[in-house]
Amino acid sequence: MTAAANIILTGFMGVGKSTVGAIVALMLKREFVDMDCLLEARASMTIAQIFAKQGEAAFRALERQLAFELAQRKTLVIATGGGTLIDDEVRAALGGSGKIFCLSADAAALHSRLTASGERPLAPNWQELYAARREVYASLPHQIETMGKTPEQLASEIIALDETALYVKTPAGGYPIVLGGGLLKQIPQDAERLGLTGHVIVVSNETVAPLYGEALVKSLPRADLITVPDGEKHKTLGTVRQLYDAMLAHGADRSSTLLALGGGVIGDMAGFAAATYMRGIRFVQAPTSLLAMVDASVGGKVGVDLPQGKNLIGAFKQPETVLLDTDTLKTLPETQWRCGMAEVIKHGLIAQPALLEPELWAPEQAARLLRQAIQVKIDVVEADPFEHGIRAHLNLGHTFGHAIEKVTQFAVPHGEAVAIGIVKAALLSRNLGMIDDALVSRIQRLLRHIGLPTDIQLDAERWYAAMATDKKWKAGVPRLVLLKGVGAATVIEGISKEEILAVL
């Protein structure tokens, strides 16, 4: 499984590589390398001193060596020196390790910026250097125009253009989704950058805690583990109450961080505890199931069930970070992988046709699959953070599915129920003339290929009655997410009971 590639910022001296690079790294919680600073630190001299004592050729040799070293690493944000990428081989090596963004500004603006800042003595041959390097810079494919933009705006622009970077913008700011194999084991080295050096309460369940929780807690400087029983039936206020008690017993205060380690049940419930304990403490999601990775851990919805229904009590609580260790998927039971895939197919149908290509489902492709599936969720929650509109599209197949879960008293797992629900939504869409037969068959084929069911024998009246209790049906008027095509979902209200019964 591949970790995310580097993000490399280059451009002429004074264009803002270091400032913008540092912000990109901070937003993504990645390590930042400013090549010039690192070279100065390693040589214990300023660059001007290296030039004076050893000559430019010696400096370029050091710079080259560092560039090749960094090209071997991953997930860095690198600000190159002004002349680093003029060397063809260095450009190729760093370019092979990630995407190079070239920050640009016109000569006059750069010149006045550099003279105004007075930080650096301007090289006497500045104009010549600019002219000589301009062509190489202009040849780089990803140009970022800096004029009239703040460093923060530039950082956001770069993050949005880099497909290895996952970042969720929220009304109050945003948070990164850090994705990679072995991320949990890496935490001791990264604790500071990830904000995990203070008191951390790791909440997990009896299945996941022995696999990953115990080692994680040992590796953190100051952490306690709280383990709750496994299963949706424990996603209750009673368990949250136990969490509060255990947090108090561990001395958690407003400066503590709660880290949820597990599937969606843990994320939802621990997130609700983080949202409410002492009016809210810092929250980090570390999802370990496919469903939690592509769906539950992103978007800030947290909550618990009541005996009367699922997710009836909850809050919006945005995490500080989502830490997604793809290695944890190795222990995920097959059925849980399939259930997560039902949501991936849902994401594919509502917004990203690429997710419907079986080649992307191979375990070796997991990082790509996750990135694309998560991006769908990010786009939806950014557009509609508080679920007033298109976030409803994420409910494709869910009204049918939740009713199956209810009628069968949760004997059918959520993902399987959603798979059947997606087929029902597709059939209804076809009956209403919105999609053709071929698409319905394709959806059925894809779900079968994954090993998911496409139908179930249930009493249609009971099924319909259970659907009618859906939170989203206002005053009993049916409200369903249907398909207009691949990548195009829509909410339809007021479909007749007969039309719905016809597909059940």
Ligand X SMILES: NC(=O)c1ccc[n+]([C@@H]2O[C@H](COP(=O)([O-])OP(=O)(O)OC[C@H]3O[C@@H](n4cnc5c(N)ncnc54)[C@H](O)[C@@H]3O)[C@@H](O)[C@H]2O)c1
Q: Which stretch binds ligand X (CB under 6 A): 80-88, 92-100, 330-338, 478-486?
A: 330-338
CB of 349 to ligand X, least distance (A): 16
Residue closest to 452 by CA, chosen among 290, 295, 211 = 290
Residue closest to 291 by CA, chosen among 406, 206, 413 = 413
Measured distance CA(242)–CA(254) in Å, rounded? 18
The structure tokens listed for 106 are 């016109």
The one among 220, 259, 270, 296 contacting ligand X by CB under 6 A: 296
Task: Give the sheet arrangement for strand 31-34, strand by strand.
Answer: 31-34, 76-79, 6-11, 98-104, 142-145
CB neighbourhood size of 92 (10 A): 11
Q: Is the Cβ of residue 331 or residue 441 nearer to ligand X in the bound state? A: 331
Q: Is the Cβ of residue 30 or residue 235 nearer to ligand X in the bound state? A: 235
Q: Is the Cβ of residue 207 or residue 375 nearer to ligand X in the bound state? A: 207
Helix/strand/coil for 332: coil
Measured distance CA(469)–CA(474) in Å, rounded? 10
CB of 338 to ligand X, least distance (A): 11
The one among 17, 99, 235, 338 contacting ligand X by CB under 6 A: 235
Q: Is the Cβ of residue 251 or residue 451 nearer to ligand X in the bound state? A: 451
Q: Is the Cβ of residue 304 or residue 480 nearer to ligand X in the bound state? A: 304
Applying CB under 6 A, does 327 fall inside the site for ligand X? no
Q: Is the Cβ of residue 222 or residue 471 nearer to ligand X in the bound state? A: 471
Q: Is the Cβ of residue 79 or residue 322 nearer to ligand X in the bound state? A: 322
CA-angle at 323, arms to 247 and 202, nearest 5° = 15
CB of 381 to ligand X, least distance (A): 9
The one among 264, 319, 397, 421 contacting ligand X by CB under 6 A: 264
Specify which residues 479 forms β-bridges with. 493
- Show Cβ contacts of residue 147 under 8 Å, excluding neighbours closer than 6 positions: 105, 106, 109
Where is 102: in which H helix or E strand?
Answer: strand 98-104
Applying CB under 6 A, does 444 fall inside the site for ligand X? no
Applying CB under 6 A, does 431 fall inside the site for ligand X? no
CB of 41 to ligand X, least distance (A): 40
Q: Is the Cβ of residue 277 or residue 337 nearer to ligand X in the bound state? A: 337
First to last CA, the chain: 41
Applying CB under 6 A, does 31 fall inside the site for ligand X? no
CB 315, CB 281: distance < 8 Å: no
Cα dist from 255 to 108, 282, 436, whole Å: 48, 7, 55
- Residue 494, CB half-sphere, CA atoms under 13 Å: how many? 0
Here's the x/- map for ligand X, 193-232, by CB under 6 A: it reads as: ------------x-xx--x------------------x-x
The one among 263, 319, 348, 478 contacting ligand X by CB under 6 A: 263
CB of 181 to ligand X, least distance (A): 13
- In terms of Cβ atoms closer than 10 Å to its own Cβ (0-12, 13-18, 19+), residue 241 is exposed
Applying CB under 6 A, does 1 fall inside the site for ligand X? no
CB of 285 to ligand X, least distance (A): 10
Residue closest to 104 by CA, chosen among 20, 27, 165, 25 = 20
Applying CB under 6 A, does 395 fall inside the site for ligand X? no
Q: Is the Cβ of residue 263 or residue 385 nearer to ligand X in the bound state? A: 263
Q: Which stretch binds ligand X (CB under 6 A): 155-163, 260-268, 357-365, 456-464?
A: 260-268
CA-angle at 316, arms to 311 and 321, nearest 5° = 115
Helix/strand/coil for 341: helix
CB of 3 to ligand X, least distance (A): 18
CB 398, CB 406: distance < 8 Å: no
The one among 156, 186, 285, 289 contacting ligand X by CB under 6 A: 289
Applying CB under 6 A, does 239 fall inside the site for ligand X? no
CB of 178 to ligand X, least distance (A): 17
- In terms of Cβ atoms closer than 10 Å to its own Cβ (0-12, 13-18, 19+), residue 125 is exposed
Here's the x/- map for ligand X, 339-378, by CB under 6 A: it reads as: x---------------------------------------
CB of 308 to ligand X, least distance (A): 15
Q: Which stretch binds ligand X (CB under 6 A): 116-124, 125-133, 168-176, 331-339?
A: 331-339
Q: Is the Cβ of residue 110 or residue 403 nearer to ligand X in the bound state? A: 403
Radius of gyration of the chain, Cα coordinates, nearest whole angstrom: 26
Residues at the site binding ligand X, with contacts judged by CB under 6 A: 205, 207-208, 211, 230, 232, 235, 262-266, 268, 288-289, 291-292, 295-296, 299, 301, 310-311, 328, 331-332, 336, 339, 414
